[in-house]
Structure 1
Amino acid sequence: MIGSFVLLNCKKNREKEVMMQLKKIPEIKEIQCLTGPYDILIKVESPTIEELNETITWKIRKISDVRTTYTLKINEEATDCKDDN
């Protein structure tokens, strides 16, 4: 699977509505509400980079209350960060 974290900036006081729309997208595996310059962090997974790009471009960015997105592609995922030593 190809994964990305996407930071979203929403229209003022529309975070809950955006989160409800995001829950309908099967490629989204995690949704977190944040404080700071971004409102929401999501983890997106797709079988190919093309499908990942389509999900971000045509599903996430098309939500009317999403103002901006910032995408961070995952190059390698550590399943267990703790060392046994």
Structure 2
Amino acid sequence: MWVARVALAIVLINTEIGGELDVFEKLKSIKAVREAYITYGTFDIVAKIESPTLSEIQKVVNEIRNLKGVRSTLTLIAVEGKHFQR
């Protein structure tokens, strides 16, 4: 079975106070953002990004960082082939 390889990153997002819903809605329009969750705790939103290359991941992260209401991000790049899903 052929499996397309993609770069994957998890982006942890801090928003301006009260801005999480607005940023969450904006993330829906970014095609590479496959999943997003509003969370309690240190970060306001967690987003999963999939893209063909790491350079494309970088572009998407920069796009997220430039969204109005985003204060900061922390990006975790997944190691290829080292994951599981239930």
User: Same fold by TM-score, threshold 0.5 exceeded?
Assistant: yes
Structure 2 residue 50 is the aligned partner of structure 1 residue 40: no
Question: What is the aligned partner in structure 1 of residue 58 from structure 2?
Answer: 53
Taking the TM superposition and a 5 Å limit, the aligned residue runs for 1:9-48 are: 9-48=14-53
Shift of 1:48: 0.4
Shift of 1:77: 2.3
- Structure 1 outlier segments of 4+, above 3 Å: none
Question: What is the aligned partner in structure 1 of residue 12 from structure 2?
Answer: 7
Q: Which residue identity lines up with residue 73 of structure 2 in the other structure?
A: T
Q: How many residues align?
A: 79
- Residue identity over aligned pairs, in percent, reads 32
CA deviations on 1:28-83 (whole Å, 9 max, x unpaired) are: 001001111110000001000101111101x1011010000000111022244xxx
TM-score where L is the length of structure 2: 0.88
Unaligned runs of 5+ in 2: 1-5
Q: Which residue identity lines up with residue 84 of structure 2 in the other structure?
A: A
Q: Which residue identity lines up with residue 6 of structure 1 in the other structure?
A: V
Unaligned runs of 5+ in 1: 81-85
CA deviations on 1:9-36 (whole Å, 9 max, x unpaired) are: 0000011100110000000001001111
Question: What is the aligned partner in structure 2 of residue 72 from structure 1?
Answer: 76
TM-score where L is the length of structure 1: 0.89
